[in-house]
Amino acid sequence: MELLGDLEAEVMDRMWARIEPATVRDILEELRPVRPLAYTTVMTVMDRLFQKGWLTRERAGRGYAYTTTLSRSEYTARQLSEVLSTTDNRGMALLHFVRAMDTAEAEALSDALRWRAQEKGPS
């Protein structure tokens, strides 16, 4: 999975925070107070994210309305999976990861594992 550049990550952060699709102008207006950017710069980044498969788009007047193809949590899960694929001992990597978790994270992991076991059913 390709990592996002700085501006791509900022755009995706804004997109993930939205419920409705967004236009280039919507994202530009959200970014402007933090980072002065030209419309064409944001348009190019959003088009690039579309080309890479991070965003989908539909015609909206003369431009496009964009939506994300993955939620932020799905993106994070794919990153974790990719990182785990680089080790020769996934079990040990997971053990070290779990050791670093706080109680709430460990409980969330336990809940996820119980859900997975129920989804899969008896072996």
Instruction: Tell me which DSSP letter residue 54 carries.
Output: S
Find all residues with CB under 8 Å of 54, minimum gap 6, and list them: 4, 8, 12, 68, 69, 70
**Residue 76 falls inside a structural domain:** yes
**Residue 1 falls inside a structural domain:** no
**Whole-prediction pTM value?**
0.75
Write down the pLDDT at residue 123.
58
The percentage of residues in the chain with a pLDDT greater than 90, rounded to a whole number, is 63
25 and 60 assigned to the same domain:
yes
What's the pLDDT tens digit per position in 21-72? 999 999 999 999 999 999 999 999 999 999 999 999 999 999 999 999 999 9
Report whether pLDDT(122) > 80: no
Check if the beta carbon of residue 11 is closer than 8 Å to that of residue 30.
no
Q: For 107-122, what is the mean pLDDT?
A: 85
State the residue range of the domain holding 84: 72-120
